[in-house]
Amino acid sequence: MKIIVADNYIHLSEIAANIMADVIRDKPDAVLGLATGSSPIGAYKKLVDAYSNAHLSFSKVRTYNLDEYIGLDASHVQSYHYFMRSKLFDLVDLKAENTHVPSGVGDDLTKNCREYDEMLSSCPRDIQLLGIGSNGHIGFNEPGTPFDSRTHIVSLTEKTKKDNSRLFAADEKVPDRAITMGIKDIMSAKKILLIAYGANKADAIYNTVCGKVTENCPASVLQKHKDVTLVLDTEAASKLDKSIIEK
Ligand code: GLP
């Protein structure tokens, strides 16, 4: 694993956005795996800036998101569909038909999962962007998820609901379930880029990098991937030995 520690969140976001932009410059029709949460917001902003100022074009890019809450349709402000439109999709020249977020609505959620699997199988990702939960989850693959999992419906842990409640209004309930890309598909991306900042991610990052590869820490599976870059701030990296950090 390549580990880069940035001075602050802005610097971290620049580094992550540059890695994504390089993939798109090398391959204008790149397929991107995208993530939500607060961690990638700065990187998306830098990508929007690169589109506006440096003519980075997304016109041939295709995107596949990791996950979505069950029961929130694309127009719901807390949905990940809405998040992606407001932070990236509507701000660059991405074609709407080239963007994909798994659907958490409808009568047959199993069918939604299988349809998403088919799309993922036919469109291997050139790069997969990830955040990480404080319990080591990636996407919404909570601890205990098998490493060979594909798209599935998950019951969110109390810890994840509590962590994510900060993004919801006080009178809004965090949904109990989500649909998520599985670990097998995350691992099938050619390149993986994980962003984490803040002290509440330090244990998860330590377990991801130095811990045993175990389903108890889903992100530890990344030790088995041959091209992973972690971009961290000093707090998220605080439990790592300095000798393993890139200068
Ligand atoms: C959610 C998302 C994850 C994300 C995590 C961390 O649970 N499903 O993909 O990595 O939040 O979010 P944050 O970056 O806000 O800490």
Q: What is the DSSP string of 46-104?
A: HHHHHHHHH----TT-EEEESEEETT--TTSTTSHHHHHHHHTGGGSS--GGGEE----
Q: Is the CB of 140 under 6 A from ligand 1?
A: yes
For residue 80 the two structure tokens come to 């990940």
* Beta carbons of 229 and 4 less than 8 angstroms apart: yes
Distance CA 214, CA 216 (A): 5
State in Å: Cα 130 to ligand 1 middle.
8
Burial profile 187-204: b = 16 or more Cβ within 10 angstroms, e = fewer: bbbebbbbbbbeeebbbb
Best probe residue, ligand 1, of 78, 137, 183 (max atoms within 8 Å of C-beta): 137
State in Å: Cα 137 to ligand 1 middle.
8
Considering 65, 98, 112, 135, which one is annotated as catalytic?
A: 135
| Encoded amino acid at 82, one letter | Y
- Catalytic residue status for 90: no
In this prediction, residue 188 carries a pLDDT of 98
Q: Which atom of ligand 1 is nearest to the CA of 39?
A: 14
Q: Is 26 helix (H, G, I), strand (E, B) or coil?
A: helix
Distance CA 36, CA 139 (A): 8
- Catalytic residue status for 135: yes
In this prediction, residue 247 carries a pLDDT of 64
Tens-level pLDDT at each residue, the chain (247 residues): 999 999 999 999 999 999 999 999 999 999 999 999 999 999 999 999 999 998 899 999 999 999 999 999 999 999 999 999 999 999 999 999 999 999 999 999 999 999 999 999 999 999 999 999 999 999 999 999 999 999 999 999 998 999 899 888 888 899 999 999 999 999 999 999 999 999 999 999 999 999 999 999 999 999 999 999 999 999 999 999 988 888 6
- Catalytic residue status for 14: no
Residue nearest to atom 1 of ligand 1 (CA): 37
The CATH class for the domain spanning 2-244 reads alpha beta
Strand arrangement of the beta sheet that strand 67-69 belongs to: 67-69, 177-180, 152-155
Residue nearest to atom 3 of ligand 1 (CA): 139
Inter-axis angle of helices 41-54 and 9-26, to 10 degrees? 50
